[in-house]
Structure 1
């Protein structure tokens, strides 16, 4: 199914304006009015986007308003009963792209009623503002999401990684090594690098003139997160797939994977 139809376009524009975590990290929601089973809907999302939406990706109030305005009542969301623990409902695990997360949301106030035994897939009802359990073979509209991050599993030095990101730029999009300032975004980025073939990936952090800077020219808000006087070679910032520290410093000449982000350039209109 192609990306077409007014419902999808309207939701895309809504979330472009409303779900911007930072100018450097942007999430975009796509709604598809074609009805699919839960499994087929998720497969479509994973093939064409990142995955099906979950509650930490969307603003529920904005989602509800949009669906109500379009007179659309129910859509599939990334919620599923744990096959190994009956009555435990979990969000899909975007990090692995396969299983479910560890968070059990069975007791959430969003539930309308306790789902029946054979109802294993979750949907959202905009009229009642509640989650429902459904038979997974039922067909419903669904929503996927994308972001503006690109993980490259090429091993480059920090300088080479920055050059590789920037060479992807075009007349419409500007690419660079990832710059992200809000601490609340770190866990999202860490989940996005799970496919990296190196333990750490380069980001746009660089130590210059006694301070840590992002590659886009912004200073790091929390300088204390990294050494204020790093050793001679530990002047480049990276993010680990498994280390819970937000950022670590590394030897800029070492080769590892890296993550870029892109922004759409403003078009000139006569």
Structure 2
């Protein structure tokens, strides 16, 4: 399938929004965004930002909200509703994906997921690499192609990383945290202090050749793994 180059973009809080004016189904839009960016535009902080609203378009546009108890494509929290109830209730049972029309106050509507519409993608500073590599191979890959293996210093960053980890193809994803036998402590590869921890119970083993990985399911806790194990991993971009 042919997709045009993203026609317009704007940036907010390290997130870049991309408007693609090629009309495709919701699933095709999601697949494109995940392949070329991070995901479909998702979450209230994104779709009500001023930067997002600058990407004006006169037609309904796909956003990352779909009907599985209505949840966001990238896992963002969802409780607030902003539906255009007239269009939302019209044929609701056949409408399982969401659109927004910015020039009409930004309210949401529902549509059949097989309809073809333009769509919004976004990028953030994290990227999940769905390749299986040892910890050192993952570190080298991130440093050569992006910036570094990801570090986590607070609960907000933990939530940010675990949303990416949910799409991994391995049970764990490597983090940029390693144990130093020489120094006798854990350290982040970007030299940040370990001021926040999310170890699983019994999951922390302080031994040579051990690095930290996050579970891709469950509570997304950290566990020690041998460096020569191969997992997906998460890089942080420049």
Count of matched residue pairs = 226
How far off its partner does 1:231 sit? 3.3
Partner of 2:206: 231
TM-score (norm 1): 0.66
Superposition RMSD on alpha carbons, in Å?
Answer: 3.5
For the pair 1:121 / 2:87, whether they are aligned, the reply is: no
Partner of 2:62: 76
Partner of 2:118: 141
1:31–1:144 contact (8 Å) kept in structure 2: yes
Partner of 2:13: 19
Partner of 1:268: none
* Of 159, 162, 166, the match for 2:139: 162
User: How far apart in 2 are the matches of 1:182 and 1:135?
Assistant: 39
Partner of 2:161: 189
For the pair 1:240 / 2:210, whether they are aligned, the reply is: no
How far off its partner does 1:119 sit? 3.4
Structure 2: 5+ residue stretches without partners: none
2:153–2:195 contact (8 Å) kept in structure 1: yes
Q: Aligned with 2:139: secondary structure?
A: helix
User: How far apart in 2 are the matches of 1:91 and 1:224?
Assistant: 25
User: How far apart in 1 are the matches of 2:32 and 2:232?
Assistant: 27
Q: Aligned with 1:58: secondary structure?
A: helix
TM-score (norm 2): 0.73
Partner of 1:200: 172
User: How far apart in 1 are the matches of 2:20 and 2:229?
Assistant: 41
For the pair 1:91 / 2:66, whether they are aligned, the reply is: no
Structure 1: 5+ residue stretches without partners: 21-26, 83-87, 96-100, 265-270
2:162–2:220 contact (8 Å) kept in structure 1: no
Partner of 1:28: 16
Q: Aligned with 2:191: secondary structure?
A: coil
User: How far apart in 1 are the matches of 2:157 and 2:207?
Assistant: 29
Tell me: CA distance 1:48–1:236, structure 2 relative to 1, closer, same or farther (3 Å). Answer: closer
Tell me: CA distance 1:61–1:73, structure 2 relative to 1, closer, same or farther (3 Å). Answer: farther
1:161–1:202 contact (8 Å) kept in structure 2: yes
1:120–1:135 contact (8 Å) kept in structure 2: yes
User: How far apart in 2 are the matches of 1:152 and 1:37?
Assistant: 24
Q: Map Cα deviations across residues 193-241 of structure 1 (whole Å, 9 max, x no partner).
A: 34545422321112343543210111122258589x9533374221111
